[in-house]
Amino acid sequence: MILKRNERVLEQVDSPFESDPRILEFHKRLDGYATTDLVDLPRVASEIGIGRLLVKHEAERYGLPAFKMLGASWAIYRAVCDLAGQEPVWDTFDELAAAWAPLLPLRLAAATDGNHGRAVASMARRMGFSASIWVPIGTADARIASIESEGATVTVVDGTYDDAVAISALEADDHTLVISDTSWEGYEDVPTWVADGYSTIMTEIGVQLAELGVEPDAVFVQLGVGALGAAVVTYFKTRPDSPTIVGVEPSDANCVMAAVEVNEIVTLPGPFVSHMVGLNCGTVSPLAFPVLRDGLDWMVGIDDEDAYEAMRTYAANGLVSGETGSSGLGALLAIARAGKLADVGLGPDSTVIVINTESATDPENYLRVVGKTPEEVIGL
C-alpha cells in the first residue's frame, strides 16, 4: 500500500462540474431508474475500528452491473441535443429514441476497460444508434462479451487504456459522437457531462445521509481518469466542513497521485496488469486534475490482494462487488491493517462512506477470489 497526504489540498474547491438535482430528475425519467442503497455494515466497521461504515452500493443501474450509465446517459443526451440543436419532448427511452430518429444513422464511439463502454453501447442500443468500442489488450472475455451483447462492435487495442482513448478519439465525424470520460485539448464538454452525470450518486447520498441524521467524516472514492472523484470532490468540497476525501488507485497505475505530487499531469507508461481494470489508467483527465489536486486530502495506491480482501468482505455481508468496485473498501482495510487510521483522521467514532461501483463483471475471477458465484452470495 502507498499512502500519501496531499499537501496541496484546499478547504474549499472551485469546480467546473455541476452537482445539480436537475440531473437526478433527468435520470428519473429514464426507464428503470431506482435509488441505490446506502448499506450500513456495523460488523465490518467494528472490525476495522471505526464507528460506522456506509456503502453506496452501485452494483446495478438500469439493468447494467455498474454506475457508469449515469454518466454515459447524461453525456450522450447533452451531446445529441447539441447535434440536434434542441431538446426533444420525451418521457421514456422509446419516446427519446423516436424524437432522435431523424438523426440516424448515428454512431457512438468510446474507449473503455469495460463498464463505461457497456453503458455507452447500451444507451446506443436503446436509441437505435450503432456503437464502436475500443478496449485495451488483456480485457477479460466476459467484459468484451457484455459490451457486444448490447450490439456494439468491440476492437481490442494492442496497448493500454490510454492507447484505446487515443484511437477512439480519431473516430469523430459528422455521424459519430465520441463519448469519453477523459478530456484532451479541444474536447472537454462530453467528459464534463459524464462527471456531472455522476452527481446523481451524490445527490442520493445527501438525501440518504439526511434520513440517517449523520455526516461522514471520510469518503473513499476510486479515481481512474478522475470523473467519479471529481464528482465526489465537487459535491463535498464546494461547501464548508467537508469530510476527508481519500482517492484510491492501483499501486502501479497511480496517475493521479503522481500528477498531484509534481503539480502537473504525467503519463505512466504501463502496461497495467491490475485486476482493478477500471482504474488501470496512465493519465488523469486534464479537466478533472485541478479538482482532484485541490480536493483530495489523501491518495492511496493498493494492490489486487487488497481489493480481493474487500470482495470477500462484501461477500460475507451479502454484497457482490467486482475488483474495481471493491477498491474503496480495500483501501480502507489496508489502511486499518497498517495501523494508519489515525494518520488519516479516523477513529472509533468516525463515519466512513465507500462506493461499491460495480457488481462481478468478471465472473470467472470473482469465483476464484470469493469461492462462490454472485448468485450464491446473494442467496439466489
Active site residues: 68, 113
- Supply angle C-alpha 268, 194, 73, rounded to 5: 135
CA distance 296 to 219: 10
- Contact between residue 70 and residue 198 where contact means Cβ atoms under 8 Å apart: yes
Cell triple for 350: 468516525
Alpha carbons within 13 angstroms on the beta-carbon side of residue 131 total 29
Burial 347-378 (b: 16+ CB within 10 A, else e): eeebbbbbbbbbbbbbeebbeebbeeebeebe
Beta bridge partners of 100: none
Beta bridge partners of 240: none
Cell triple for 46: 467494528
Which one, of 243, 213, 196, lies nearest residue 23 by Cα? 196
Q: Which residues contact 53 (CB under 8 A, 6 or more apart)?
A: 40, 41, 42, 44, 45, 332, 351, 352, 354
- Cβ atoms < 10 Å from Cβ of 92: 11
